[in-house]
Amino acid sequence: MTTLETTAAGKTTKGFPKISFWRTVVALIFAAGLYAMYARFALGFQASTNLTDSQPWGLWVGLGTLCGVGLSAGGFAIAASVYLLGFERYRPILRTSVLISFLGYCTVCIGMMYELGIPWRIWHPIVMWNRHSVLFEVSWCVILYTTVLMLEFSPALVEKIPWVRARDLYLRWHHSILIALVLAGTLLSSMHQSFLGGLYLITKGHLDPLWYSPYLTTMFYLSAIPAGLSVTIMAIYLCVRSLNARVDLTILSDVSRVIAPLLAIYGVFRAVDLISRDATQYLWMWREETLLFWLEIALLVIAPLVLLNLEKVRNTPLYLYWTSAVIVMGFMTNRLNVSITGLQASSGIYYEPKWTEFAATLATIAAAVVAFRYAVIYLDILPKNPSQRVLALSAPAKA
């Protein structure tokens, strides 16, 4: 009966899985993703992407890596808050946020296999060093932080091992290194987020002045934390709504009270930067870059700040969910603007991703979402309510 109880939303696991709307969507995404995988690895870049010498980095870098890493920033923020700063308030959502970060980094690593021209040489940066390269630092941050996340998350898996001795030994060892892990993770993640912005410092003269700034590193860092926290809010809300998790939703309100000032700081930083670089002239030009810039600012800064200023939004989980969705959309617009929109004019060609580029990235994200769902169902990520179905079944039996 335990499997029955732990299954999502009281659905029984017996028999053929029911065909639901979301299952159909995920199945379609996986089917498209499988073709994209075939196209990329059996046919090559030209068959699977619209990348060219003028646009050598496209959707896989912009969406897969920049957004993937950025939206995984919740894990280190919550872990540092709980373990280093002692905000016990957030402990109930700690495992969820670490799980999201871990899965996020997994999608980034899988995405790397698509991006690299020669993916089986992915280990080269470990032995071939160029310390003048931002990408070299980025690659080391990915390797080390993914390891840290795996270790941080590991107890959730290990505690399910039936061998008591081995389990306790591991958990005790884990406990002894935990603070060191969290500390290393916070530093590595912070550096990783910043260095992703640092990658574009070398595009001076190519990247549009609306985005090129010597402070790209700081901007990437400042925007990643509120965006990562927003993903955590969305995930927790969905777990409560459809996976029967039992969480005090006022925690989400408290997270949103942290997000608002972070976004405000980010907004002010962007404004001061634009003014100090004398780039305000580009704010009112009638061109695609400027429109997308304003879309980014509206979604990432203005709309969320207005919404989070309303008491009703802060205290209603559903509204918080949608506000977080707006922040995530704004964040993604920003990363795609830096990596694609802002480089379009200087490249002289118009890049539109091929459908297989979307399919590959979406399938990887979908796989992470499915993995997240089953982790929440089968592992102790969040406390769960006894399922409605089981209650309904057991009630008449008692009567």
Q: Name the minimum Å distance from CB 280 to another protein.
A: 21
Q: Which tokens sit at 399?
A: 């009567």
Q: Which is nearer to another protein, 137 or 296 (CB)?
A: 137
Helix (H, G, I), strand (E, B) or coil at 384: strand
Q: Which is nearer to another protein, 125 or 267 (CB)?
A: 125
Report if residue 183 touches another protein, rule: CB under 8 A: yes
What phi, psi does 196 have (nearest 5°)? -60, -40
Amino acid letter at 320?
L
Q: Which of 102, 107, 115, 365 binds another protein (CB under 8 A)?
A: 115
Nearer of residues 114 and 321 to another protein, judged by Cβ: 114
- Contact positions with another protein (CB under 8 A) in 338-367: 347
Kindly state whether residue 278 participates in binding another protein, applying the rule CB under 8 A: no
- Residue for token digits 């690593």? 109
Q: Which residue has the tokens 């270790």?
A: 151
Nearer to another protein, 322 or 355 (CB): 355
Coil vs helix vs strand at 205: coil
DSSP SS3 for 53: coil
Residue 204 touching another protein (CB under 8 A): yes
What number of chain residues touch another protein (CB under 8 A)? 55
Measured between alpha carbons, how far is 186 from 188 in angstroms, rounded to an integer? 6
Q: CA 101, CA 69: separation in Å to the nearest integer? A: 8
Residues 203, 211 contacting (CB under 8 angstroms): no
> Which residue of 194, 230, 232, 244 would you call a contact of another protein, by CB under 8 A?
194
Separation of alpha carbons 214 and 392, rounded Å: 61
Binds another protein by CB under 8 A, chosen from 1, 19, 128, 164: 128
Looking at the Cβ atoms of 7 and 107, the one nearer to another protein is 107
Please tell me whether residue 1 binds another protein under the rule CB under 8 A: no
| Residue 152 near another protein by CB under 8 A | no
The nearer residue to another protein, 187 or 260, going by C-beta atoms, is 187
SS3 call for 49: coil
Angstrom distance (rounded) from CA 307 to CA 88: 27
Q: Are 114 and 60 in contact (CB under 8 A)?
A: yes
| 12 binds another protein, rule: CB under 8 A | no
Contacts of 305 (CB under 8 A, 6+ apart): 260, 263, 264, 267
Give the nearer residue to another protein in terms of CB position, either 136 or 378: 136
- Which parts of 85-104 interact with another protein (CB under 8 A)? 85-86
Pick from 24, 133, 388, 394: which binds another protein (CB under 8 A)?
133
Least distance from C-beta 233 to another protein, angstroms?
A: 24
- Minimum CB distance to another protein, residue 290 (Å): 21
Residue 235: its H or E element: helix 216-242
Contact call for residue 369 and another protein (CB under 8 A): no
Q: Dmax of the chain from CA atoms?
A: 77
Using the rule CB under 8 A, give the single segment among 94-102, 185-193, 279-287, 361-369 that binds another protein. Answer: 185-193
The answer to whether residues 102 and 153 touch, using CB atoms and an 8 Å cutoff, is yes
Among residues 30, 136, 170, 282, the one that binds another protein under rule CB under 8 A: 136
Q: Do the Cβ atoms of 182 and 80 come closer than 8 Å? A: yes
Of residues 15 through 74, those in contact with another protein by CB under 8 A are: 43-46, 51-54, 56-57
Give the one residue of 25, 116, 161, 291 binding another protein; rule: CB under 8 A.
116
Select the residue interacting with another protein from 150, 161, 166, 202 (CB under 8 A). Answer: 202
* Nearest CA among 24, 65, 30, 73 for reference residue 371: 30
State yes or no: residue 309 binds another protein (CB under 8 A): no
Q: Please, are residues 207 and 98 in contact by the beta-carbon 8 Å criterion? A: no
Residue 301 C-beta: closest distance to another protein, Å: 24
Outline where DSSP puts E strands in 231-305: none
CA distances from 251 to 11, 42, 222, 235, 285 (A): 28, 47, 22, 13, 42
Site for another protein, residues 212 to 271, rule: CB under 8 A: 214, 217
Residue 190 found at the interface with another protein (CB under 8 A): yes
Binding site for another protein (CB under 8 A): 43-46, 51-54, 56-57, 80, 83-86, 115-119, 121-122, 124-125, 128-139, 179, 183, 186-187, 190-191, 194-195, 198-199, 201-206, 214, 217, 347
